[in-house]
A and B are shown apart, each in its own frame.
Chain A
Amino acid sequence: MGIASEVVDHGRVIYARAYVRLKGLIREPHWSIAEVIIPMLSISAYIYMYQVLNAPNEFLGFVIIGGAMLSFWSNVLWGMSSQFYWEKETGTLELYMVAPISRMAVLIGMALGGIINTTIRAISILAIGTLLFPIHFVVGDLSALIIIFVLAVVALYGMGILFASLFLLYGREATHMADLLQEPIYVLSGMYYPVLSSRFFPSAIKFLATAIPLTLGIDGIRQLVILGGDFNSVIPHMVGLAILALLLLPFSYLALRKMEDISKKEGRLTLRWQ
């Protein structure tokens, strides 16, 4: 089989898996509505808190951007990382594993569907946030904004694919692991406050935080749409995100192969009792 034919086959798998996600969005819109309204509640709480404290107005924008970007993290954690565990529970994983397909294509399809769904949710959060609160976004450099956003999403979903591979080996622990990862990321990524420019966080913590694509993505977008930054001001963010994407994608591919191999050896690929 030629490379072109293989590419077409991978494309079919990616499209088919993304299609399932998109159909879910269309057929169960109440989930998407809930996933916009619920984050809006915590976003509103932070905004009111900043208003009560008479914080600078840009902090309100920080919260909206952080809340919108956090949708991607939730999707990576619950819609990507633990997805193989759920697929295992429902018996669908077995059907993927007996098919002559690249598992990476399945995960990319899952990611693609997740990105489209979550982008719609994130835009909804931004729109509702700007309608409800006195926030003014100015996009100084659209190309820089697109590059930062795309790089952040690619790196973030690369991380999701890596976690999905690791969770392939685990059973019920996968959901606990996802739980454990949720709050530290909330703290380190600077969801509702700046981390990288903050004087309260030690340098070591800031360095650790840059290993999370969400941190660089949120900070870069805030620079561009709230703080009036230009292309040059976010070059370090772009470089950091590009490095993360370049490291995470091949690493997740290798991890997926390794974990599948271990699972087949240990018999954990489709067993549900574990």
Chain B
Amino acid sequence: MYAVETNSLSRLFKAKGKPIVALNKVDLNINYGEILGLLGANGAGKTTFVKILATLLLPSEGEASVYGFDVTKQAKHVRKVINLVSGGETPGYGILTVKENLWFFSQLYGLSNNLAKERAGQLIHDMELEEYVDTRMHKLSTGFKQRLNLARGFINDPKVLFLDEPTLGLDIINARHIRKYVKDWVRSDKSRAVLLTTHYMAEAEEICDRIAIIYNGSIVACETPQTLKASMEKSTVVRIEAKNSSSTLSFEGISGVIASSVDSNSNGITKIKVVLDNESRIPDLVSHLANNGCKIISINTSEPSLEDVYIKYIGRGISTDGHSK
């Protein structure tokens, strides 16, 4: 049995009378004790997937279960064992203090006052919120609001935690703190599981046991970060800076090109990134650029990263705001 199991899960929305496929026959399982990262650009279907599992949205087709409970037929049972933390959300009521907000949410999960106090105290300590315990939520900085949001997500000691871009807009210190806490939380009890949606490659690589890449509502890959990178073991990433290049530069027809991206800046310098299946293809690439009038300023090669794996599957990367580029 899996902590999360989906079978041919699909979701259609209607926009101006036309159906839009947000999820397309997704089969995905999350093991107990596992953090699964769901990687994809904005609109790829990540949040739709999470919302179905969190019982906020009904699937159009297929089945999903969380902790053995069907999300459609046993929603109340599912809600008892889950929690959801979304990035950039308000973690409660601005008029209430940090301590009061945690107490408030503990009451939604039927915790006795003593247990609520004990758990809130522990979470305040874990999230390093002691200094702000009596501060009203609306006075907290974005980073501390998100720490409070995460503390709220743990208040019912969930078995399955859904983290929907939890470090969105956070500085490095707050993001690192949250990642470490989540990782330690899952490692400390093998009956727990986390589904993390993100478009930060480094985040996925740092804490996820497996990474699923979602594109246009379909899962196009699901492996450990190591396996995903190993799938490109013989590949090489070539980064070129060139002049006189056009952003519409195409690499079609050049054998061995797995993925490419072209980024022109205002100085007239174009940054080209090409993933080749073999280092021996570099001379062909250089010739191609020269034939297209490019004047190469610099050329570097490196091992493929997780982002290159993503580009391999999707054809393009994700910008910092989560959009495809």
Contact = CB atoms under 8 A, between A and B. Distances in A.
Contacts of B86: 91, 94
B93 A13 contact: no
Nearest to B60: A265
A90 interface: yes
B104 A16 contact: yes
Contacts of B83: 98
Contacts of A257: none
Contact of A267 (B13, B108, B110): B13
Contact of B58 (A9, A90, A97, A264): A264
A97 B75 CA distance: 10
Interface stretch (A18-26, A123-131, A237-245): A18-26
A269 B56 contact: yes
A267 B47 CA distance: 12
B57 A264 contact: yes
A5 to B, nearest CB: 8
Interface in A1-52: 5, 8-9, 12-13, 15-16, 19-20, 23-24, 27-28
Nearest to A102: B76
A interface SS class? helix
Nearest to B104: A16
Interface string A241-274: 0000000000000000000000011010110000
B105 interface: yes
B90 A99 contact: no
Contacts of B13: 267
A28 B13 CA distance: 42
A96 interface: yes
Contacts of A100: 76-77, 79-80, 108-110
Given A97-B55, A265-B58, A24 B107 contact: no
B110 A9 contact: yes
B89 A91 contact: yes
Contacts of B95: 20, 23-24, 27-28
A132 interface: no
26 contacts: A5-B110, A8-B110, A12-B107, A13-B107, A13-B108, A16-B108, A19-B100, A19-B104, A20-B93, A20-B95, A20-B104, A23-B95, A23-B100, A27-B95, A27-B136, A91-B90, A94-B56, A94-B89, A95-B92, A98-B55, A98-B79, A98-B82, A99-B109, A100-B108, A269-B56, A269-B57
